[in-house]
Amino acid sequence: MALNKVSTSLHYVKRPQSSSLDSSETYWVPNTDVYVTEGGLVIKVELAGMRKEDLEVLMVDGNRLKISGHRPDGCRAPKCTFLVMEINYGAFESVIELPSGYDLSQAKATYQNGFLRIDVPEQAPSSQKSISVSIPSGES
């Protein structure tokens, strides 16, 4: 699959259409890279300070991948004044819509050194490209 086709058909959804999170709850979207290799598609998500048990990766609607979880803030003092606050804590969710040609059911995920990596292989080529249907004469 050509890179041009992937870049034009890959949709990164920042605000999930059907979120499992309560609408009154605020959440953040982690930094994500999606790229093509010879073996398929790689999704790399920056999630430092998390345990893999706190991550959830689900296939939604066949071609969408939902990544969600909760990053705890275990070191913030009860009363503090931030001078700089750039690290997101709490619930997060992102949904990535993948182009056709990739098999999410065969995806494999690893979490190491603060990065979640999901490898999605290309779909195996179909053994049957087209079929011929014969219509008996006299029928319309």
Which residue ranges make up each domain of the chain?
3-74+81-121
Average pLDDT, the chain: 80
pLDDT of 48: 94
pTM higher than the cut 0.95: no
The three-state secondary structure class of 3 is helix
* Rounded-to-integer distance, Cα 108 and Cα 126, Å: 22
Q: Would you identify the CATH topology of the domain 3-74+81-121?
A: Immunoglobulin-like (2.60.40)
132 or 72, which is more confident? Answer: 72
Q: Is it the case that residue 55 has pLDDT exceeding 80?
A: yes
Tell me the per-residue pLDDT of 87-132, one tens digit each, with 9 for 90 and over.
898 999 999 999 989 999 899 999 999 999 999 999 887 654 566 6
Strands 40-46 and 32-37: antiparallel
pLDDT of 10: 47
The alpha carbon of 112 is separated from its chain's Cα centroid by a whole number of angstroms, namely 17
- Which element (helix H / strand E) includes 96? strand 90-97
